[in-house]
Structure 1
Amino acid sequence: MVLFRRAEELSLAHAQIEGCAEGNAGLLLIEAAVGCGKSEFLETVAGHARSRGCVVLRGMGTAAEKGDPLGVLRQLTADAPAGALAHPPQAPEAGRVEAMQAFALSVRELSAAAPVVICVDDLHHADELSTRHLLHLARGSRQARILLVFTESLHERGADPLLRTELLRLPHFLRLRLERLRPEAVRAMLPDRAETETDRLYQASGGNPLLLRALLQDPSARPGDAYTQAVLTCLHRCGAVTPELAEAIAALGALASPAHIARLSGTTETAAARAAAALDAAGLLDGPGLRHPAARAAVLDRMDPAARSELHRRCALLARACGAPDTEVARQLLAARHTAEDWALPVLRSAADQYLADGAPDRAAALLRLAHEACPDDARRADIGIRLAAVAARTDPAAAERHLLEPLAALAEGRLEPRAFGPLARVLAAQGRIDESAAVLERMAGPDGRRPAAPLRPGEVPGDDPLDGLSAFPQWAAPDRTALPGRGAPSRAVPPGPSPTRRPCGRCPRSRRRPRPPTPPNCSCAAPPSPKAPSNPWYRPCAPSSTCTERPARCPGARGSSGRPASAAPPAGRPSSPGCSPRRGCAWATSPAPRKPPKERCARSPSAVAAPCSAASPAPWCGRTRPWAAPRRPRPCSAGPSPTGRAAASTA
Structure 2
Amino acid sequence: MELVERAAELTELRKFFDDCAAGVGGAVLISGPVAVGKTRLMEEFCRSVDTTRTLVLAATAAETEHDIPLGLIRQLLGNAMASTQPADSRGALFRCAAQVREYAAAWDDKDPRARKAAIEHLCADLLAPARDRTVVICLDDLHLADSVSVELVLSLQRRSRMCRTMLLLGVCTTDPTYLSEIQVEFARSPRSHTLCLSGLTLPGVSAALRLSGLPEARALSFLRASGGNPLLLDALLTDAVRIGRDRDTADIPKAGNAFRKSMSACLYRLDDDTRTVLRAWAVLGRLRSRRLLRKLLGPDRDAAFVERAMAALAAVGILDHTGDFRIPETARIAVDTTTRTDRADLHLRVAVLLHEEGLGASVIAEHVLAAGDVAETWISPVLIKAAGEALAKGDADRALTCAERAHQIAAGRAAITALVALVRLKWLTSPSSASSHLRPLQRAMYRGRLDLSDAFALVAQLVWERRYPEAANVARWLDEHVDRTDAAELLHLRTMHTWLRLIGPMAADPGHDLLVGLPQPEHASADDSRMRAVSALVLPFGRNPRTRCARPPSTFWRVSSAATTRRWTARCPRCWP
Q: Same fold (TM over 0.5)?
A: yes
State how far apart, in whole Å, the 1-side matches of 2:563 and 2:255 are.
47
Structure 1 equivalent of residue 316 of structure 2? 282
Q: Report the residue type matching 1:128 in the other structure.
A: S
Q: Report the residue type matching 1:335 in the other structure.
A: A
Structure 1 equivalent of residue 461 of structure 2? 409
Structure 2 equivalent of residue 330 of structure 1? 365
* 2:502 corresponds to 1:450: no
Contact kept in structure 1, 2:34 and 2:174, CA below 8 Å: no
* 2:258 corresponds to 1:250: no
Structure 1 equivalent of residue 191 of structure 2? 172
**Residue deviations 1:445-471 (CA, integer Å, cap 9, x gap):** x952338999xxxxxxxxxx9769779
Aligned CA distance change for structure 1 residues 466 and 144 (closer, same or farther; 3 Å): farther
The counterpart of 2:200, out of the listed 143, 158, 181, is 181
Structure 1 equivalent of residue 45 of structure 2? 45
The counterpart of 1:82, out of the listed 90, 102, 111, is 90
Displacement of 1:370 in angstroms is 1.3
Scaled by the length of structure 2, the TM-score of the pair is 0.59
Q: Number of paired residues? A: 435
Contact kept in structure 1, 2:142 and 2:169, CA below 8 Å: yes
Q: Report the residue type matching 1:315 in the other structure.
A: V
Displacement of 1:252 in angstroms is 2.6
Contact kept in structure 1, 2:399 and 2:425, CA below 8 Å: no
The counterpart of 1:118, out of the listed 137, 153, 165, is 137
Larger RCO (CA within 8 A; separation ≥ 6): 2
SS in 2 for 1:142: helix
**Residue deviations 1:44-66 (CA, integer Å, cap 9, x gap):** 12122337944322232222222
SS in 2 for 1:269: coil
**Residue deviations 1:20-59 (CA, integer Å, cap 9, x gap):** 3344433211112222221111111212233794432223
**Residue deviations 1:407-464 (CA, integer Å, cap 9, x gap):** 7637976999989x9xxxxxxxxxxxxxx9xxxxxxxxx952338999xxxxxxxxxx
SS in 1 for 2:3: coil
The counterpart of 2:406, out of the listed 354, 374, 392, is 374
Displacement of 1:335 in angstroms is 2.4
Contact kept in structure 2, 1:35 and 1:282, CA below 8 Å: yes
State how far apart, in whole Å, the 1-side matches of 2:276 and 2:28 are.
33
State how far apart, in whole Å, the 2-side matches of 1:368 and 1:57 are.
63
Displacement of 1:9 in angstroms is 2.4
Contact kept in structure 2, 1:255 and 1:288, CA below 8 Å: no
SS in 1 for 2:185: helix
SS in 2 for 1:162: helix
SS in 1 for 2:64: coil
Percent identity for Structure 1 against Structure 2: 27
Contact kept in structure 1, 2:71 and 2:146, CA below 8 Å: yes
Q: How does 1:131-280 map to 2 (within 5 A)?
A: 131-158=150-177, 162-182=181-201, 185-191=204-210, 192-193=213-214, 205-215=226-236, 220=243, 223=255, 225-240=257-272, 246-254=278-286, 264=296, 268-269=300-301, 274-280=308-314
SS in 1 for 2:284: helix
SS in 2 for 1:20: helix
State how far apart, in whole Å, the 2-side matches of 1:348 and 1:195 are.
53
Aligned CA distance change for structure 1 residues 370 and 61 (closer, same or farther; 3 Å): same
State how far apart, in whole Å, the 1-side matches of 2:218 and 2:390 are.
33
* 2:339 corresponds to 1:320: no
* 2:56 corresponds to 1:56: yes
State how far apart, in whole Å, the 2-side matches of 1:382 and 1:452 are.
34
State how far apart, in whole Å, the 2-side matches of 1:198 and 1:162 are.
39
State how far apart, in whole Å, the 1-side matches of 2:333 and 2:196 are.
28
Q: How does 1:377-396 map to 2 (within 5 A)?
A: none
* 2:3 corresponds to 1:3: yes
Contact kept in structure 1, 2:73 and 2:149, CA below 8 Å: yes
SS in 2 for 1:58: strand
Displacement of 1:121 in angstroms is 0.8
Rg: which structure is higher?
A: 1
Contact kept in structure 1, 2:35 and 2:230, CA below 8 Å: yes
Aligned CA distance change for structure 1 residues 379 and 345 (closer, same or farther; 3 Å): closer
Structure 2, unpaired ranges of 5+: 245-253, 408-413, 439-456, 465-470, 483-487, 492-502, 504-518, 528-558, 570-577
Q: Report the residue type matching 2:146 in the other structure.
A: D
**Residue deviations 1:127-157 (CA, integer Å, cap 9, x gap):** 2233223222322343543322100112224
Structure 2 equivalent of residue 18 of structure 1? 18
Structure 2 equivalent of residue 544 of structure 1? none
Q: Report the residue type matching 2:262 in the other structure.
A: A
**Residue deviations 1:56-84 (CA, integer Å, cap 9, x gap):** 22232222222332333344456372345
